[in-house]
Amino acid sequence: MNTTQVIPGAESYFISGNSVGILIIHGFNGTPQSMEYLSKKFSTQGFTVYSLRLKGHGTHEEEMESCSYQDWVENVAEGYSRLKQTCHKIYVIGQSMGGALALDLAGKVDCDGVIAINAALQVPDYEPYRNFSAPRFIPDEKPDINDGDAFEITYPQVPIKAVNELLSLMDRVKKALHKVYCPVLLFHSPEDHVVPEHCSYEIYHLVSSKDKHMVSLDHSYHVASLDYDKDKIVEAAISFMKDRSEDILVS
């Protein structure tokens, strides 16, 4: 079995545009497919978009089992470096674990803004598996999406080792939120069945940013990028980025 062959539709993609770049990071057990709607909308506005696939995602559960959260941190750093080669401003957008990774990056580099969608600082359903090595795999529920017609590429089960890497990452990110000074836009779903809504409020209060905002997604569950409020995310995110990039964007 080839555990590194990428599932069709789950690939990373890069769309060239203007000198404002957007790094897009999917969530745990997700792929760039979950962020594709947002990515295409951003690209139609002229932005350069890089939606990366985190190691161990979109291939096979066994490859995910071999990953550490440091691999994902490195993937994000590499993605930022790639955009930095051609872009004068870079915004980082992440959903769930991707939001945590975006905030982690923002605490270490001079990015121009973070947009986090239901960013994960805690996943209560995974807490009982903390520091356990068995069972090897945990069944993963159907993606938490209110729109019954939506589809997300995911594994039907996730390695307990990867779950513990996620838990370690979230612990690390929460402790370092005070290092984030860039503008922050936080989207949160009141009816999120994966990440408690209070995580977004914690992030809002713990980051050192003066320019920070919250937007409620009242018709969406956890995977909001595929849910009923996806256009609300697009519109608010585009406004957020354009308002802070007027110095290099030509109207």
Three-state DSSP at 75 gives helix
Please, are residues 62 and 157 in contact by the beta-carbon 8 Å criterion?
A: no
Q: Which of 104, 112, 144, 192 is catalytic?
A: 192
Could you give the strand order of the β-sheet that contains 212-216, starting from the edge strand earlier in sequence? 13-15, 48-52, 20-25, 89-95, 113-117, 184-188, 212-216
All residues at 6 or more sequence positions from 57 whose CB lies less than 8 Å from its CB, including other chains: 10, 26, 29, 30, 31, 64
131 burial class (0-12, 13-18, 19+ CB within 10 angstroms)?
exposed
- Choose, from 96, 200, 225, 245, the residue flagged as catalytic: 96
Rounded to the nearest angstrom, the gap between the alpha carbon of residue 224 and the centroid of all alpha carbons in its chain is 11
Query: How many CB atoms within 10 Å of residue 83?
Result: 21
C-alpha 185/C-alpha 166 separation (Å) is 22
Instruction: Find the largest Cα–Cα distance for the chain.
Output: 56
Catalytic site residue 57?
A: no
Selecting among 57, 209, 222, 229, the annotated active-site residue is: 222
Calculate helix-pair angle for 97-106, 69-84, nearest 10 degrees. Answer: 60
Is residue 227 among the annotated active site residues? no
d(CA 102, CA 113): 9
Catalytic residues: 96, 192, 222
